[in-house]
Amino acid sequence: MAWRLPQMCDNKALLFPLTAILRLERMAQQLILDILPSAEPTFTNMVPGDNAAAVAAAQRLKAASTVFIWGPDGSGRSHLLKACANLHRGVYIGKPSHGAKAIANLLDHQTMPPCVAVDDVHHLDEPALSALFGLYNRWRELAGSHEAFSLIVAADRAPLQMNCREDVRTRLGWGAVYRLEPLSDDDKFCALVRYAQDRAMPLAEDVLRWLLTHGSRDIRALFAVLDALDRYALSNHRPLTLPLLKSMMAQEPSMSK
């Protein structure tokens, strides 16, 4: 007797509807996007613009040296500090709400990391500023020893303009001070191209030019729009084109602010 497939395994039952296949494919692609980590901020993927001096100082940062970086939001302060911490095997402290605890934890250890980067100092509350005061004192105590570490700090204003107690303000200006200038449109274009390349996003030049003209002036917001566009294209099964970007922006007008 010839062998036959059971009814439940009939070949018609084995054929998934096209919509189900597309749904599974979309879920798999989305899972890959969620798993893939964002590119770590480094000096290699940073567009310095007119900030070559500040970038070079951070790259050359040596033990027992301290640098203060300041500039407006979107000028690359956080990227620079994270890149510095990564390069010098240091610690990056970037959440102002956790600043006091994070700095206190460092001071509790006898051995300091090679580099400490403290971001958004202008947002630190009084306990965190007191902890930062102690960090500067530890930096000075160890500066002449083999345990010396480097210290790089960033804010949105110069040390003398910081709204904090005088002894903290004085310490913020102990080392070299650099101002970060916002990127020009050409620099932003280069940054967007690099950001898209790092994420394997096939974008035409007209998409990026339109985004620079009609999008936010903040480079971080532009990066967020690219991420949203990538997901929007995936969910709609369409290529990353200018019409698609316009369609998404029309649905989410807040993205252009």
- pLDDT one-digit tens code per residue, 90-99: 999 998 778 8
Same domain? For 171 and 158 the reply is yes
43 occurs within a structural domain: no
Q: How far separated are the first and last CA of the chain, in Å rounded?
A: 73
For the chain, what is the domain count? 2
b/e sequence 178-217, b meaning 16+ C-beta within 10 Å? bbbebbeeebbbebbeebbeebebebeeebbeebbeebbe
Burial class of residue 174 in the structure, from the number of CB atoms within 10 Å of its CB (0-12 exposed, 13-18 middle, 19+ buried): middle
20 occurs within a structural domain: no
Q: Please state, in angstroms and rounded to a whole number, the distance separating the CA atoms of residues 151 and 57.
A: 12
- pLDDT confidence of 197, banded at 50, 70, 90? confident
Domain holding 229, by residue range, is 184-257
Whole-model pTM: value is: 0.75
- pLDDT confidence of 39, banded at 50, 70, 90? low
Same domain? For 98 and 175 the reply is yes
Same domain? For 194 and 126 the reply is no
